[in-house]
Amino acid sequence: MSSTIARSRRLLLSSLALVPLAFSMPVLAQKAPDAVRIGYQKSSTLLTIVKARGTLEQQLAPLGIKLSWHEFPSGLPLLEALNVGGVDLSADVADTVPVFAQAAGAKLTYVAQEAPSPSAQAIVVRADSPLRSVADLKGKKVAVTKAAGSHYLLIALLEKAGLKFKDISPAYLTPSDGRAAFERGSVDAWVTWDPFLAGVQRQSQVRVLADGRSVADYQRYYLASTPFAEAHPDVIHILYEELRRTGQWVKQNPKEAAAFLAPLWGLDAPAVELANSRRSYEVRVVQPDSLKEQQAIADAFFSEGLLPKKINAAAVSIWKPAR
């Protein structure tokens, strides 16, 4: 299996590096339903809470199902693992990530989405920076995480300001490396998302240059491997309902949720509360019409030469709850 996963990872990363390829990767055989593997990131708020509380284990125990949890540094390697059978279910990833995975030939099923949270990602500069507008980024070095929602936000904001992506010098960095480069002055600006955005706002002297409002909706998606989704819709339904309830609890109990998450994220409670105030956490079933922005994202990345081919963002599998 290690050679299969390594081969898939090389192919997907090659597509992101604009190397022409014919991606063809068979999904591995479905594991027995008594073991379900869930991948998540630090920014996976709702599943972080569900994991810490053990509520999903409680829901699935009567079915004889056990869970294992696997943390990933960002959404792209998470979906790589999902595609090759390393995990069965994915916590929320930014709207851009499935677009890259689809372009690379991944066979994934959309399970749910969170309603838009446009102000939960932004471009930040240091408080004393001379940069006052997105147009001022021309010729500047900007830290951004490749394939993240912030990547599309940067493209969209540059276009709104009359610039192309080639007008800036991107530094493709993970959130932790992006913040380190930003704070030591190695880059002029940093594009990031919550809770990383709230963390730097609380702990450093920064200024928001622009966020996603009126530019990028920033809808986060939950996904499953297509074989798992087809074989175990009952498990997905239980997960969906648990996510929906958890999202409602976070919005109805902001201080309690912040206090709960703070030690898990390594942030103070006010920073977590700030981050959560900008996320909708409204979990809902994916509707085909809601994928229109996915198409806009795909077209933007292709236009900038960041996707190897055009895709039809609506040509995906979508889970629907049984009536």
For 143-192, give the DSSP string.
EE-TTSHHHHHHHHHHHHTT--GGGSEEEE--HHHHHHHHHTTSSSEEEE
The residue assigned the tokens 């999202």 is 247
Domain limits, the chain: 2-116+218-318, 118-211
Q: Are strands 89-93 and 35-40 parallel, antiparallel or unpaired?
A: parallel
Q: How many other C-beta atoms are found inside a 10 Å radius of the C-beta of residue 200?
A: 21
pLDDT tens string for the chain (323 positions)?
444 444 444 434 443 343 222 222 333 333 435 889 999 998 899 999 999 999 999 999 999 999 999 999 888 899 999 999 999 999 999 999 999 999 988 889 999 999 999 999 999 999 999 999 999 999 999 999 988 899 999 999 999 999 999 999 999 999 999 999 999 999 999 999 999 999 999 999 999 999 999 999 999 999 999 999 999 999 999 999 999 999 999 999 999 999 999 999 999 999 999 999 999 999 999 988 889 999 999 999 999 888 989 999 999 999 999 86
Are 144 and 150 within 8 A, CB to CB? yes
Q: What is the C-alpha to C-alpha distance for residues 291 and 99, in angstroms, rounded to an integer? A: 11
Look up the CATH superfamily of 118-211. Periplasmic binding protein-like II (3.40.190.10)
DSSP states along 106-153: --EEEEEEEPP-GGGEEEEEETT-S--SGGGGTT-EEEE-TTSHHHHH
At 33 the pLDDT is 54
Q: What is the C-alpha to C-alpha distance for residues 175 and 129, in angstroms, rounded to an integer? A: 20
Options 3.40.50.720, 3.40.50.300, 3.40.190.10, 1.10.10.10; which CATH number does 2-116+218-318 get? 3.40.190.10
Q: Are strands 89-93 and 169-172 parallel, antiparallel or unpaired?
A: unpaired
Are 204 and 183 within 8 A, CB to CB? yes
Are 110 and 98 within 8 A, CB to CB? yes
Q: Name every residue whose Cβ is closer than 8 Å to that of residue 99 and which is 6 or more positions away in sequence.
A: 294, 297, 298, 301, 307, 311, 313
- Residue length, the chain? 323
Are 189 and 125 within 8 A, CB to CB? yes
Q: What share of the chain is helix, strand, coil (3-state, %, to 5)?
A: 45, 20, 35
Question: What's this model's pTM, rounded to 2 decimal places?
Answer: 0.84
The residue assigned the tokens 């990767």 is 25
Q: What is the C-alpha to C-alpha distance for residues 92 and 197, in angstroms, rounded to an integer? A: 17
Are 154 and 294 within 8 A, CB to CB? no
Residue 322 main-chain phi, psi, to 5 deg: -65, 145
Tokens standing for residue 24 = 């063809």
- Give, in degrees to the nearest 5, the angle at Cα 237 between 120 and 55: 70
Tokens standing for residue 59 = 């829901």
Q: What is the C-alpha to C-alpha distance for residues 234 and 226, in angstroms, rounded to an integer? A: 14
| 141-144, strands of its sheet edge to edge | 169-172, 141-144, 189-193, 121-126, 206-211
